[in-house]
Amino acid sequence: MGLLQVLERYRSEIQAELKSLIDLTSPLFPLMGYHLGWVDQRGQPRSGSGGKMLRSTLCLLACEAVGGSWRGALPAAAAVELVHNFSLIHDDIEDRSPQRRGHPTL
């Protein structure tokens, strides 16, 4: 199994977990949804995969490696993904970066 296949293995489950945690009615949702690749700059649904979700995937793989159920680790994987994305937003602000993943930053 190649790296891209490994990264795709849990993508839909991680995305579903993230969406279950984020309040879609929050005034911050358009910003979070944009950064995560779920909506475009106008708040319209966007197709595409967003980030690689490497860290959250590693969390689930580590859980499996020690005999645990990866499904039970989904909340931890989502937390890892949210913290990582916060750090990316913070980095973009600090560096005044104009783009991330080929799109304007927040």
Sequence spans of domains, the chain: 3-104
pLDDT in tens, 30-69: 899 999 989 999 989 988 667 889 999 999 999 999 999 9
pLDDT in tens, 10-22: 999 999 999 999 8
Return d(Cα 67, Cα 97) in angstroms, integer: 41
pLDDT band for 97, please (50, 70, 90 cuts).
very high
Look-up of token digits 């989502």 = 78
Classified as helix, coil or strand, 15 is helix
Among the residues of the chain, which ranges form H helices?
3-9, 11-21, 29-35, 54-65, 74-95
Cα of first residue to Cα of last residue in the chain, in angstroms, is 35
Return d(Cα 33, Cα 40) in angstroms, integer: 8
pTM beyond cutoff 0.75: yes
- The alpha carbon of 2 is separated from its chain's Cα centroid by a whole number of angstroms, namely 21
